[in-house]
Amino acid sequence: MIEWDRGEPVWAEDSAKWKQLAQELRERIESGRYRSRKRIPSQRQLEQEFGVSRDVIRQAVGHLVAMGMLKIDPGVGTSVLPPENWRLPEE
pLDDT in tens, 9-50: 777 787 899 999 999 999 999 999 999 999 999 999 999 999
pLDDT in tens, 65-75: 999 999 999 99
pLDDT band at 59, cuts 50/70/90? very high
Task: Spell out the alpha helix ranges (H) of 32-53.
Answer: 43-50
This prediction's pTM = 0.87
Give dist(CA 70, CA 5) in Å, integer: 28
Instruction: With H, G, I as helix, E, B as strand and everything else as coil, classify residue 21.
Output: helix
85 forms bridges with which residues in the sheet? none
Q: Any idea what DSSP says for residue 38?
A: S
Q: At what angle do helices 43-50 and 54-66 cross, to 10 degrees?
A: 120
CATH of 3-85, one of 3.30.420.40, 1.10.10.10, 3.40.50.1980, 2.170.190.11: 1.10.10.10
